Amino acid sequence: MTMIEAIRDAHFVAMEQDDRVVVFGEDVGYFGGVFRCTQGLQERFGNHRCFDAPINESGIVGAAIGMAAYGLRPCVEIQFADYMYPAYDQIVSESARLRHRSAGDFTAPLVIRMPTGGGIFGGQTHSQSPEALFTHVAGLTTVVVSNPYDAKGLLIAAIEDEDPVVFLEPKRLYNGPFDGHHDKPIVPWSQHPLGEVPEGEYRVELGKARIHRPGSALTVLTYGTHVHVSEAAAEESGIDAEIIDLRTLVPLDVDTIVESVQKTGRCLIVHEATVTSGFGAELSAMVQERCFYNLEAPITRVCGWDTPYPHAHEWFYFPGPDRIADAMRKVVST
Amino acid sequence: MELNTDTQLDLHHTMVRIRLFEEAAGQLAEAAKLPGFLHLCVGQEAVAAGVCATLNDDDQIASNHRGHGHLVAKGGQFRPMMAELMAKSTGYCKGKGGSMHISDLSVGMLGANGIVGAGVPIAVGAAWANSLRGRGQVSVPFFGDGSTNIGAFHEAANMAAALKLPVVFVCENNEYGEFTPRDKTMAIADIVDRAAGYGMPGVIVDGMDVVAVYEAASEAVDRARRGDGPSLIEAKTFRFYNHHGIQNLGLRYRTDEEVEHWKQRDPIFTFEDQIVGAGSTTREHITEVWNHERANIADAVEFAEHSPTPTTDQLLTDVYTISSQTAEVSP
């Protein structure tokens, strides 16, 4: 199953088992979403539970908050994460704070899905990775998925969660486990074990990381597309990296990370988003605070360069397997 | 208004240039020679041509994701345009903008924009700058029907009216916001109804009729230039191709009959019949115009194809802030 099909399947399961779940966004109803993640939902569940929204992200998220506060379980799509900014006020000032400012009387159980990241020649307004803009906000759960199995289980868990969840889907992973080699043919999810998605309902717990590749030479903390790119870097360099797919950035699975770094003594952080004030900075600080006496090398980051996402230099910006492998060599040889 | 022959031929010429640029870009994208998303304005040429013909060189326009036609009509040149779309260093933005963010301040084009509605308040700001300088320039944001649902449009319209700024809001209503028909996302049939809410006049014009667009724009631009404030033009038009790419028939969200209906009203071919019928020009001359511009577009494609891609050391140039990682960037 592709990640698109897995996400679609999660919607079906959630809407089937709970009639409070409603789905809307730009082109998601009749058309089924620009990435096809909501295809068939309107036919199955009707216009009142799956519908098209105008192009107005602030209205989409604001209305979802009102629905959530009054008993529904909205799961809305922002067509590209890059379109999120008009909704940011509603996400930050409203959704993240309802529980706190009402002392628990109100919550906002909503999910805001967003295709994220680059690798599809989307240029500066269709390629960004804004996860750190959410992890910085107290009150939000932030998920970044890396494969179909997790996508389905995490989305069901997110819809059932009592508080707002920002659910980021790397669009470069929708159809296959992209390893960063853009000039090679696309490998479909049908040829990858994490493309095997069970029928029916299951959950992947929010706040739990997954050890994607066990290893002993160093710990790689990453998420989304770069789980697969880091794996390629490990295989190609022959370095026995332990790759941790964080899955949920907030709440963060501190125990899994600390246990791994205490074992390997070395830590590399990889993400596609720009480096300065990226989520890697938070990870680095946390590892330093908890594993300082275990570290045998400086914590290192491989991230996107500090520039708007480029039109002309997509593959120079995108942290590829070579850059990651170089950093791995540096970290293990220090 | 009876347009003089030169103006008629100019309008025709501009529409031909837009059509040929768009068709060439579409072909290059199909051949995988042009990276990125491509939103073509084939079918909507009369709006860009008619409006921009009423503007002076130092007037400004702000555009949207479907912006090539606006730039061509404002005086953009084929070579740097095509090079920009192909991410080459000889492009208008050295390959950094691409189709969705192409701009050329030298002709008053503030930029295409990948974010729906984002260009509208920017044009209002340009109008304020113009007012401050007192040079009598006018600013024109182009936007689609879908963008009139987003806050940025409403905030910009209100500001322009409240501040009585020299702005002409031009809505290209092509009936679809991406893949969703207008009537699913708004309860009004005419975008122009929104103008009254902000205290500005609005007019509906046939966006397939370049002369009608030109006349409506002339009046609105004159009004803005006189200092009488903003107004809104709603041009009813249609994009012949899909939201992006060059598929036009067999689409899930609109019928082939609807596409055919609008293609019968092709703004270029209907205008050619009109001006030939009126004796303003001949079929031979029209053929010459097409052939001349076909040669120009072929030249631009060749220029772009043979232009270098920007070197990787250009990645962190033109970024405002200095990154702590700058020193690590090397090709």
Asked whether the whole model's pTM tops 0.90, one would answer: yes
The three-class DSSP label of residue A274 is strand
Strand partners for A243: A213, A220
Tens-digit pLDDT profile for residues B64-74: 999 999 999 99
**Contact residues on chain B for A316, CB-CB shorter than 8 A:** 312, 315, 331
Q: Which CATH superfamily is domain B5-330 in?
A: Thiamin diphosphate (ThDP)-binding fold, Pyr/PP domains (3.40.50.970)
Q: Does the pLDDT at position B330 exceed 70?
A: no
Check residue B112 and give its pLDDT.
96
Per the model's pLDDT, the better-predicted residue between B14 and B319 turns out to be: B14
DSSP type of residue B199 = T
The three-class DSSP label of residue A255 is helix
Please state the rounded mean pLDDT for residues A18-26: 98
Question: Cβ B326–A306 below 8 Å, yes or no?
Answer: yes
Chain B, residues 29-68, CB within 8 A of chain A, namely 35-37
Query: Which DSSP string do the residues of B201-233 spell out, in sequence order?
Result: -EEEEETT-HHHHHHHHHHHHHHHHHT---EEE
Tens-digit pLDDT profile for residues B91-101: 999 999 999 99
State the Rg of chain B over Cα: 20
How many CB atoms are located within 10 Å of the residue B200 CB? 23
Please state the rounded mean pLDDT for residues A289-300: 98
Tens-digit pLDDT profile for residues B293-316: 999 999 999 999 999 999 988 888
Determine the Cα angle at B281 with ends B277 and B287, to 5°.
105
Question: Cβ B149–A82 below 8 Å, yes or no?
Answer: no
Burial of A108 (0-12, 13-18, 19+ CB in 10 A): buried
Q: Which of B170, B262, B219, B146 is nearest to A79 (CA)?
A: B146
Check residue A20 and give its pLDDT.
98
Check residue B328 and give its pLDDT.
59
CA dihedral (A91, A276, A129, A113) positive or negative: negative
Contact A169, A147 (CB under 8 A): no
For strand A210-213 and strand A241-245, is the pairing parallel, antiparallel, or unpaired? antiparallel
Please state the rounded mean pLDDT for residues B56-60: 96
Please state the rounded mean pLDDT for residues B146-150: 97
- Of all residues in chain A, the percent with pLDDT exceeding 70 is 100
Range in A182-186, A228-232, B109-113, B151-155 with the lowest mean pLDDT: A182-186
User: What is the spatial distance between Cα A321 and Cα B289, in angstroms, rounded to a whole number?
Assistant: 51
CA of B254 vs chain A CAs: smallest distance (Å): 11
Instruction: Please state, in angstroms and as integers, the Cα–Cα distance from residue A219 to each residue in A213, A277, A287, B68, B74, following that order.
Output: 10, 21, 11, 48, 55
Phi-psi region of A104 (alpha: psi -120 to 50; beta: other; left: phi over 0): left
Interface test with B, best of A27, A56, A275 (most B CBs within 10 A): A56
User: What is the spatial distance between Cα B219 and Cα B213, in angstroms, rounded to a whole number?
Assistant: 10
Question: Cβ A82–B323 below 8 Å, yes or no?
Answer: no
Q: Does the pLDDT at position B54 exceed 90?
A: yes
Contact B257, B4 (CB under 8 A): no
Determine the Cα angle at A87 with ends A83 and A88, to 5°.
100
**Contact residues on chain A for B87, CB-CB shorter than 8 A:** 311-312
User: What is the spatial distance between Cα A165 and Cα B262, in angstroms, rounded to a whole number?
Assistant: 44
Contact B123, B62 (CB under 8 A): yes
CA of B152 vs chain A CAs: smallest distance (Å): 9
Instruction: Please state, in angstroms and as integers, the Cα–Cα distance from residue B108 to each residue in A227, B35, B62, B284, following that order.
Output: 45, 26, 8, 34
- Of all residues in chain B, the percent with pLDDT exceeding 90 is 90
User: What is the spatial distance between Cα B304 and Cα B95, in angstroms, rounded to a whole number?
Assistant: 11
**B100 interface with A at CB cutoff 8 Å:** yes
Strand partners for A52: A25
Helix intervals (H) in chain B: 5-30, 45-52, 68-74, 78-85, 119-133, 151-162, 193-197, 210-226, 256-263, 267-277, 283-305
**A330 interface with B at CB cutoff 8 Å:** no
- Which residue of B101, B315, B316 is in closest CB contact with A124? B101
Tens-digit pLDDT profile for residues A312-321: 889 999 999 9
**B121 interface with A at CB cutoff 8 Å:** no
User: What is the spatial distance between Cα B43 and Cα B139, in angstroms, rounded to a whole number?
Assistant: 24
How many CB atoms are located within 10 Å of the residue B251 CB? 17
Question: Cβ B115–A275 below 8 Å, yes or no?
Answer: no
**A277 interface with B at CB cutoff 8 Å:** no
Q: Does the pLDDT at position B138 exceed 50?
A: yes
**B180 interface with A at CB cutoff 8 Å:** yes
The three-class DSSP label of residue A272 is strand
Is residue B325 very low, low, confident or very high in pLDDT (cuts 50, 70, 90)?
Answer: low
List of domains in chain A? 3-173 (3.40.50.970), 207-333 (3.40.50.920)
Widest CA span in chain B: 67
> Domain map of chain B by residue range?
5-330
User: What is the spatial distance between Cα A150 and Cα A189, in angstroms, rounded to a whole number?
Assistant: 13
**Catalytic position from the list A11, A48, A100, A126:** A126
Tens-digit pLDDT profile for residues A60-105: 999 999 999 999 999 999 999 999 999 999 999 999 999 999 999 9
Check residue B134 and give its pLDDT.
79
Please state the rounded mean pLDDT for residues A303-330: 94
The interface pTM score, or ipTM, of the predicted complex is 0.92
Q: Is A126 among the residues known to form the active site?
A: yes
Tokens of B182: 């207008």
Contact A264, A216 (CB under 8 A): yes
CA of A31 vs chain B CAs: smallest distance (Å): 7
Mean confidence (pLDDT) of chain A? 97
User: What is the spatial distance between Cα A272 and Cα A224, in angstroms, rounded to a whole number?
Assistant: 9
**A66 interface with B at CB cutoff 8 Å:** no
CA of B162 vs chain A CAs: smallest distance (Å): 23
